[in-house]
A and B are shown apart, each in its own frame.
Chain A
Amino acid sequence: MGSFVLKRSLYSIISLVGLLVLVFFLSRLTGDPAALYLPVDAPASVREAFREARGLNDPLIVQFGDFVWNLLHFDFGESLRRQRPAFDVVLEAFPWTLCLAAITMSLVLLGAVVLGSLAAMNVGKSFDRISSVISLAAASAPDFWVALMAIFLFAVALGWVPTSGTGTPWHWILPVAVLFIRPFGLILQVVRGSMITALSSAYVKTARAKGVRQRAITFVHALRNAMLPVITVAGDQAAGLLNGAVVVESVFGFPGIGKLMIDSILQRDFAVVLAAIMITSLAIFIMNLLIDLAYALLDPRIRY
């Protein structure tokens, strides 16, 4: 297990370094960084001062060296807009996203596993057909559109919930509901598929021959075997949420990392973007380790 974690860490660090290098060179090579970082109407003197202060007049290789050196100290520089260390700005936004992702994924997993198992037990019957259509529609809906429609319907027209913000628990309902839909649809399909496979497997036949009840067969024998592919897909979806549900967070004015990232990109605040990428990559890395751990717990044949 130890060497496995080490190997995974190494791969992740390679990936992360590749990413940061990519971002660095993209931001340096596609034109004058000052033009990227500063507003269009900034006077030439300000641009020059900005360049000098940030070492943008140094050779590229020196700039890159500084960039890497600062990264190693978790120093991403100052946020241009907020006049605070970029890292602090990101650390403030991250818990919101983490919380949103955790709540959403718990509900998604619960709903998808229960409904998917029931659908698999009733293949071809009306429950299965209805849940198939619902999951398909859910998996096909673009979240920004659903968000707009939900705001219109539930916040504007019916006035049941607030349109945006984070003040009360009521504020969480719409973002969670909108983020719930696509992962729910996708995972429900996966659960159904892998439960059908598991329920037609030979060991289920054995359990029936032993006289085990159908409910125990489904939820004790089949479900645990069917969970591996489900966890894989759930991990991908959770990673998507951790990366910040960019669109949904912006639409609902939710102060999470997704909104922060898109705002920072549009406001040319690259220090914040880099810090945000670091934090989310770290979070996703930890989550992937947990998923691997879950694999090993669920299936004794998997050993690292």
Chain B
Amino acid sequence: MADTQTPTLAETHSPPGWLRLLWADKYATVAAVFLLFVVAMAIFGPSLFADLSSKVNFRGRNLAPFQFEHGWLMILGADSLGRPILARILVAAQNTMTIAFFAVLAAGIVGGSLGLIAGYSRKLVSDVIMRLADVIMSFPSLLLAVIVLYMLKPALGNLVLVLAITRIPVYLRTTRAEVLEIRERMFVQAAKVMGASTWRITFLHILPMVLPTLLTIATLDFAFVMLAESSLSFLGIGIQPPEVTWGLMVAQGRPYMAQAWWLSFWPGLMIVLTTMSLNLLSNWLRTVLDPAQRWRLEGSKETANV
């Protein structure tokens, strides 16, 4: 009887299931491991290497990379003040990650909430919110950041604020579009017929459907914000020395480009690798969170076991 047969796809919501799905995508696995490493650096880097990274050593100025006699910290070379680049990269991870993390978090929460409101409120409120997003969108985000930072003085908090504001529209629009679509779905109608309040529908029925999408976007956006912060630091209006981020390191290496390419190369490479990893992870998330796509990973998992 067709009515009583039970579909055979097993539920894989448990944590080991997630790990298995991650393992099924080798690119994403490598990306996740790399990101874990970056996060660990961001948390422990400064406390472990802060002193080493700021120790000026004029004899080691612009020391070339891959010379083992100066200790492993010098493996990537030294900067114009003879400070080991590897140590500086490890320390700079904290500022780079912190700025991007809080900017994305703030933009996600504010944008997501505004999107929920815009998607579930009267036309007038929704229109005002959307026009506001248009204003922010229509402005070149980098320039907005430049102008605001120029006037507010560059500091970590201001940097986070500016980057967050420029990214709010992304979350706002996505959330609103999803809400508009989901609120017309049958199960929302069913909840309405059951007598569910707007609050219940928004937070128990719609939000859980929107969150995965927001998470996917946030991963991608993290990379974008990191690039934006790097650009600002590169232009000299982001984080100010003696604080350091990867973008600032690239900028600091610029005058020495002709003699010592490695000053700019390594921090830039870190930016590329981190961005790539975030992109890969975001792609994986999109696949996993889309039931129509997920079988690809589940499939390759099972054939791998055969």
- Which of A26-34, A58-66, A83-91, A290-298 binds B? A26-34
- Measured CB to CB, the nearest residue on chain A to B264 is A148
Closest 8 CB pairs of A and B: A145-B268, A243-B140, A140-B275, A18-B135, A30-B151, A140-B276, A15-B138, A15-B135
In the assembly, what is the distance between CA of A227 and CA of B287, in Å? 23
Beyond the given pairs A142-B275, A243-B142, 13 more chain A to chain B contacts, judged by CB atoms under 8 angstroms and listed by A's residue number, are: A11-B134, A30-B152, A136-B276, A142-B250, A144-B247, A144-B251, A145-B250, A151-B257, A156-B258, A243-B140, A246-B142, A262-B146, A262-B235
B150 engages A265 (CB within 8 Å): yes
Given A141-B272, A144-B234, A145-B272, A246 and B143 contact (CB-CB distance below 8 Å): yes
Contact of B205 with A by CB under 8 A: no
Contact of B148 with A by CB under 8 A: yes
Q: Which chain B positions have C-beta within 8 A of A30?
A: 151-152
Q: Which chain B positions have C-beta within 8 A of A36?
A: 151
Contact of B147 with A by CB under 8 A: yes
A246 engages B235 (CB within 8 Å): yes
Q: Which chain B positions have C-beta within 8 A of A261?
A: 143, 146
Given A12-B138, A144-B230, A246-B143, A149 and B268 contact (CB-CB distance below 8 Å): yes
In the assembly, what is the distance between CA of A156 and CA of B138, in Å? 38
Contact of B271 with A by CB under 8 A: yes
- Shortest CB–CB separation between residue B173 and chain A, in angstroms? 12
Contact of B134 among A15, A136, A140 (CB under 8 A): A15
B143 engages A149 (CB within 8 Å): no
Contact of A175 with B by CB under 8 A: no
- Measured CB to CB, the nearest residue on chain A to B133 is A15
Q: Which chain B positions have C-beta within 8 A of A144?
A: 230-231, 234, 247, 250-251
- Measured CB to CB, the nearest residue on chain B to A148 is B264
Contact of B254 with A by CB under 8 A: yes
Task: State the main secondary structure of chain A at its contact with B.
Answer: helix
Interface residues as binary, A271-304 with B (CB distance below 8 Å gives 1, 0 otherwise) = 0010001001100100000000000000000000
> Would you mind naming 18 contact pairs between A and B with Cβ atoms under 8 Å apart?
A15-B131, A26-B148, A27-B151, A30-B151, A136-B276, A140-B272, A141-B275, A144-B247, A145-B230, A145-B250, A145-B272, A148-B264, A152-B257, A152-B258, A262-B235, A265-B147, A277-B139, A284-B138
Chain A residues at the B interface, C-beta cutoff of 8 Å: 11-12, 14-16, 18-19, 22-23, 26-27, 30-31, 36, 136-137, 139-145, 148-149, 151-152, 156, 239-240, 243-244, 246-247, 250, 261-262, 265-266, 273, 277, 280-281, 284
A265 engages B272 (CB within 8 Å): no
B139 engages A19 (CB within 8 Å): yes
Contact of B227 with A by CB under 8 A: yes
B138 engages A281 (CB within 8 Å): yes
Q: Which chain B positions have C-beta within 8 A of A151?
A: 257
Contact of B265 with A by CB under 8 A: yes
Contact of B279 with A by CB under 8 A: yes
In the assembly, what is the distance between CA of A12 and CA of B276, in Å? 35
Chain B residues at the A interface, C-beta cutoff of 8 Å: 131-132, 134-135, 138-140, 142-143, 146-148, 150-152, 223, 227, 230-231, 234-235, 247, 250-251, 253-254, 257-258, 261, 264-265, 268, 271-272, 275-276, 279-280
In the assembly, what is the distance between CA of A23 and CA of B146, in Å? 12
Task: State the main secondary structure of chain B at its contact with A.
Answer: helix
Given A137-B276, A280-B140, A247 and B231 contact (CB-CB distance below 8 Å): yes
Q: Which chain B positions have C-beta within 8 A of A137?
A: 272, 276
Given A144-B250, A240-B140, A26 and B235 contact (CB-CB distance below 8 Å): no
A247 engages B235 (CB within 8 Å): yes
Q: Which chain B positions have C-beta within 8 A of A136?
A: 276, 279-280
B135 engages A148 (CB within 8 Å): no
Given A19-B138, A247-B231, A262-B235, A149 and B147 contact (CB-CB distance below 8 Å): no
- Shortest CB–CB separation between residue B275 and chain A, in angstroms? 4
B234 engages A247 (CB within 8 Å): yes
Given A15-B131, A15-B138, A142-B227, A148 and B235 contact (CB-CB distance below 8 Å): no
- Shortest CB–CB separation between residue B64 and chain A, in angstroms? 14
Q: Which chain A positions have C-beta within 8 A of B152?
A: 30
Given A136-B276, A144-B231, A144-B250, A149 and B261 contact (CB-CB distance below 8 Å): yes
Q: Which chain B positions have C-beta within 8 A of A27?
A: 151
In the assembly, what is the distance between CA of A14 and CA of B128, in Å? 11
In the assembly, what is the distance between CA of A15 and CA of B138, in Å? 7
In the assembly, what is the distance between CA of A31 and CA of B151, in Å? 8
In the assembly, what is the distance between CA of A156 and CA of B139, in Å? 36
In the assembly, what is the distance between CA of A261 and CA of B142, in Å? 11
Given A142-B230, A246-B143, A148 and B276 contact (CB-CB distance below 8 Å): no
- Shortest CB–CB separation between residue A185 and chain B, in angstroms? 9
In the assembly, what is the distance between CA of A262 and CA of B143, in Å? 8
Q: Which chain B positions have C-beta within 8 A of A16?
A: 138
Given A14-B131, A262-B235, A142 and B268 contact (CB-CB distance below 8 Å): yes
B151 engages A19 (CB within 8 Å): no
